[in-house]
């Protein structure tokens, strides 16, 4: 029987192949029983060594803290040392090893579950939040138990051209073992669009889907599977009709890709000679490879928060400096707009935080988070300013809703500069500063906000969600999330026209900029700077090459006058009808 599963597509294309399951979760905690006293003693010794190593590492970090680092940092590490030496972490797991005859990792895991449960019941919010500290300490002990790394050894399987690899998740080390092999596709049950696995999928350029949740349960070894990495659909045991349909789609996809690849070295100029800037949205330094390959004019949005996610503690100034410098060097002189950490909401620094907040998208998110954590904010600003000497940097603040927020950001920037001067550090002094326009408040007041800064970028992903009161991550209201809704369009027109009148550079860096179906609409309302995922560049460029702005400007009038959201699609289709050819 044919079954379909849905996940998050991360690598394009369509593949047909045979399933190969890797049922062992890469993050599974080893669990085995001990049968002799000697085994128990060995486990206890291993555990004590891990505690000793963790202690040594924490003491080392504490000792080597730079003199100018925030005082909180030292306090934080001392707190971790104190927690480590508390019986609940350094001694109770030994009792579990003895009493339950289990290995050290499993004993630590049981103790971690017990402590987590105890913390859940604490009413005092401050104390409840210390749970995160305990888990961070346990995580460190865990890594030491495993020998410094959570990564497991390479995947020991035979891989073929038609292998569809399916796992709970892959660690980067595992992924290396199939990076050079030719496999048809890979699927994982966990992972988000920005997980390492997803990044790997994009860089391997093979069909891949993450967050399928049930692939390992539902798919059987050696079963025929279709992977549609464009729409994020997996079809298990397809019948002949479905198979033929997907074979046709796969051929069309490949043909389209070949055509688009020919556009790599062509400039994005409309038929009536208007030059359009195409920038890339990146989340990691690796994303620049594809941006460069597809000849992006620079980076229109670096989502710096990805450096802060999935880790115990925020990156320090040096780590950030190194990372931002790497990006700037790889961009080789092309402009790079670095957005300060857009944390909170769906990108909570600590996973537990997103579930505590009732309405995360309206809570401490974007620039509000940075302003609430001034030491972290200034650390990032210092790192950005220092990295700025290695390339063409601009700094941008996310989720701005008022002039007061911009002023606060600018004064933190000023303090960051003064701190660097005091430290005799070299840094870029005249960095262009911009804001993201992604709240209706910012959109409506864009003229005044814009006067405070050098450029703006429209974050339509959030602007649409806030304008239409529709959670961008909630499938149940996805039908209401309409980029062509008249209200959204009115705001976009207002923003772009105001920026043009004030001679301030304006780009759109939300997903709509990378959607070729919306390219003409954006060109017609005056957008000349698009920023998108590097994989969308060629399709958008193809649309630009076939467009004539003069004729689009009259054709867009019915769409601008339209207030009926149901008609918007139909009018847009007319705008997209191809009368010009490349």
Binding site for Mg ion (CB under 5 A): 438, 459, 462
State the nearest-atom distance from the C-beta of 319 to ligand PEP, in Å: 21
Question: Taking Cα atoms as reference points, which of 335, 337, 282 lies closest to residue 307?
Answer: 282
Give catalytic residue positions.
Answer: 196, 509
Select the binding partner of residue 510 from Mg ion, ligand PEP, none (C-beta < 5 to 8 A, by kind).
ligand PEP
CB 426 within 8 A of CB 394: no
- Alpha helical stretches, state H, 265-373: 287-293, 317-330, 351-356, 367-372
State the nearest-atom distance from the C-beta of 50 to Mg ion, in Å: 41
State the nearest-atom distance from the C-beta of 450 to ligand PEP, in Å: 17
Binds ligand PEP (CB under 6 A): choice among 105, 228, 317, 462: 462
Residue number, 508 or 549, with CB nearest to ligand PEP: 508
Distances (CA, A) of 358 to 17, 123, 353, 362, 476: 43, 17, 10, 9, 18
Task: Tell me the CA end-to-end span of the chain in Å, nearest whole number.
Answer: 45
Footprint of ligand PEP on 438-457 (CB under 6 A): 438
Footprint of ligand PEP on 494-513 (CB under 6 A): 509-510
Binds ligand PEP (CB under 6 A): choice among 228, 297, 342, 405: 342
C-alpha gyration radius of the chain: 26
Distances (CA, A) of 175 to 215, 228, 490: 18, 21, 46
Which class for 443: exposed (0-12), middle (13-18), buried (19 or more C-beta within 10 A)? buried
State the nearest-atom distance from the C-beta of 217 to ligand PEP, in Å: 31
Residue number, 297 or 305, with CB nearest to Mg ion: 305
Residue number, 19 or 443, with CB nearest to ligand PEP: 443
State the nearest-atom distance from the C-beta of 461 to Mg ion, in Å: 5
Question: Under the criterion CB under 6 A, does residue 461 sit at the interface with ligand PEP?
Answer: yes
Part in contact with ligand PEP (CB under 6 A); list of ranges 137-145, 418-426, 427-435, 459-467:
459-467
Residue number, 73 or 301, with CB nearest to ligand PEP: 301
Measure the CA–CA gap between 426 and 421, rounded to whole angstroms.
8
Q: Say how many residues touch ligand PEP, by CB under 6 A.
A: 10
Question: Under the criterion CB under 6 A, does residue 303 sit at the interface with ligand PEP?
Answer: yes
Footprint of ligand PEP on 182-241 (CB under 6 A): none
Residue number, 201 or 510, with CB nearest to ligand PEP: 510
CB 167 within 8 A of CB 22: yes
Strands 277-282 and 3-6: unpaired
Residues 500/504/505/511 CA torsion (nearest 10 deg) = -70
The residues binding ligand PEP (CB under 6 A) are 301, 303, 342, 438, 459-462, 509-510
């Amino acid at each position: 029987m044919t079954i379909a599963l849905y996940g998050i597509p991360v690598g394009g294309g369509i593949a047909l192949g045979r399933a190969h399951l890797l049922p062992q979760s890469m993050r599974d905690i080893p669990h085995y029983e001990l049968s002799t006293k000697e085994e128990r003693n060995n486990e206890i010794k291993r555990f004590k060594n891990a505690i000793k190593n963790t202690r040594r590492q924490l003491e080392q970090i504490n000792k080597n803290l730079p003199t100018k680092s925030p005082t909180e940092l030292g306090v934080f590490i001392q707190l971790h040392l104190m927690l480590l030496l508390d019986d609940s972490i350094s001694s109770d797991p030994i009792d579990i090893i003895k009493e339950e005859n289990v290995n050290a990792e499993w004993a630590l895991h049981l103790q971690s579950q017990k402590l987590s449960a105890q913390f859940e019941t604490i009413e005092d919010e401050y104390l409840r939040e210390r749970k995160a500290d305990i888990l961070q300490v346990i995580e460190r002990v865990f890594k030491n138990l495993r020998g410094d790394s959570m990564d497991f050894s390479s995947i020991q399987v035979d891989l073929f051209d038609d292998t569809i690899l399916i796992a709970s998740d892959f660690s980067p080390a595992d992924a290396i073992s199939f990076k050079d092999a030719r496999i048809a596709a890979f699927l994982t049950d966990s992972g988000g669009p920005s997980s390492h696995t997803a990044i790997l999928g994009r860089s391997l350029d093979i069909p891949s889907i993450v967050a399928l949740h049930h692939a390992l349960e539902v798919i059987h070894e050696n079963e025929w599977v279709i992977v549609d990495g464009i729409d994020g659909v997996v079809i298990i045991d397809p019948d002949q009709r479905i198979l033929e349909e997907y074979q046709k789609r796969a051929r069309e996809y490949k043909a389209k890709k070949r055509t688009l690849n020919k556009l790599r070295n062509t400039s994005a100029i409309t038929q009536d000679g208007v030059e359009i800037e195409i920038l890339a949205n990146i989340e990691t330094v690796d994303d620049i490879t594809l941006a460069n390959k597809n000849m992006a004019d620079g980076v229109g949005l670096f989502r710096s928060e990805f450096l802060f996610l999935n880790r115990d503690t925020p990156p320090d100034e040096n780590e950030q400096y190194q990372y931002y410098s790497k990006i700037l060097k790889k961009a080789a002189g092309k402009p790079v707009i670095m957005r300060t950490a857009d944390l909170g909401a769906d990108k909570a620094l600590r996973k537990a935080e997103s579930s505590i907040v009732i309405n995360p998208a309206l809570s401490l998110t974007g620039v509000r988070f940075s302003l609430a954590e001034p030491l972290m904010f200034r650390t990032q600003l210092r790192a950005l300013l220092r990295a700025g000497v290695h390339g063409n940097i601009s700094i941008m603040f996310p989720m701005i809703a008022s002039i007061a927020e911009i002023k606060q950001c600018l004064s933190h920037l000023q303090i960051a500069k003064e701190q660097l001067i005091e430290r005799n550090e070299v840094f870029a002094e005249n960095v262009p500063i911009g804001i993201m326009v992604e709240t209706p408040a910012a959109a409506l007041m864009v003229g005044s906000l814009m006067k405070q800064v050098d450029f703006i970028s429209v974050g339509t992903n959030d602007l649409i969600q806030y304008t239409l009161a529709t959670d961008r991550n909630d499938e149940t209201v996805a039908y209401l999330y309409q980029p062509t809704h008249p209200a959204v369009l009115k705001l976009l027109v207002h923003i772009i026209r105001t920026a043009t009148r004030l001679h301030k550079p304006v780009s759109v860096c939300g997903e709509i900029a990378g959607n070729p179906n919306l390219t003409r609409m954006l060109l017609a309302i005056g957008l000349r700077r698009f920023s998108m995922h590097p994989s969308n560049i060629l399709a958008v460029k193809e649309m630009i090459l076939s467009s004539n702005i003069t004729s689009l400007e009259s054709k867009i009038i019915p769409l601008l006058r339209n207030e009926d959201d149901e008609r918007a699609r139909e009018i847009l289709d007319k705008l997209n009808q191809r009368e010009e050819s490349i």
